[in-house]
């Protein structure tokens, strides 16, 4: 499960941001996970809850925002949010599309003391 290595990197990033902002504790961590990121949200939550102990994030709330797939159609020039992972424009049914959101994971916000 690569979620454990992702959480390790996330905790390192939280530690770095806390140091840079003279914080002693992180109370909330918010991340955005794209549906095509390859990250399993429930496994990420479990890994965070397991590995946050005895770190600067000990006791922190972990908030996950799931990002649907957002595409740009080159045929009709529309942007659409897809509920299913179908790479077809819902407007014109074309498949000349580019994914513009929903493939990555981002650290969105930290709350620190």
Q: What is the pLDDT of residue 13?
A: 97
Region 105-112: mean pLDDT is: 96
Evaluate if residue 59 carries a pLDDT over 80.
yes
Evaluate if residue 86 carries a pLDDT over 90.
no
Cβ-proximal residues to 53 (8 Å cutoff; 6+ apart), any chain? none
CATH hierarchy code of domain 3-112? 3.30.2320.80
Name the residue ranges covered by the structural domains of the chain: 3-112
User: Strand, helix or coil at 14?
Assistant: helix
Q: What is the pLDDT of residue 85?
A: 73
Give the Å distances, CA to CA, from 107 to 71, 85, 92. Answer: 22, 23, 34
Region 30-44: mean pLDDT is: 94
Do residues 34 and 104 make contact, with C-beta atoms less than 8 angstroms apart? yes
Mean pLDDT of the chain: 94
Evaluate if residue 11 carries a pLDDT over 70.
yes
Question: Which band of pLDDT confidence, cut at 50, 70 and 90, is reported for residue 1?
Answer: low
Question: Which band of pLDDT confidence, cut at 50, 70 and 90, is reported for residue 19?
Answer: very high
Question: For 83, which DSSP code?
Answer: S
């Amino acid at each position: 499960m690569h979620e454990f290595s992702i959480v390790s990197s996330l905790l390192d990033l939280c530690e770095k941001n806390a140091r840079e902002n003279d914080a002693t504790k992180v109370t909330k961590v918010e991340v955005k996970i794209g549906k095509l990121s390859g990250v399993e949200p429930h496994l990420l939550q479990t890994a965070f809850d397991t590995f946050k102990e005895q770190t600067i994030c000990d006791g922190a709330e972990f908030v996950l925002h799931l990002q649907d797939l957002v595409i740009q159609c080159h045929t009709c020039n529309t942007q659409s949010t897809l509920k299913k992972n179908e790479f077809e424009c819902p407007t014109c049914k074309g498949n000349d599309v580019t994914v513009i959101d929903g493939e990555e994971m981002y650290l969105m916000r930290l709350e620190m003391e």
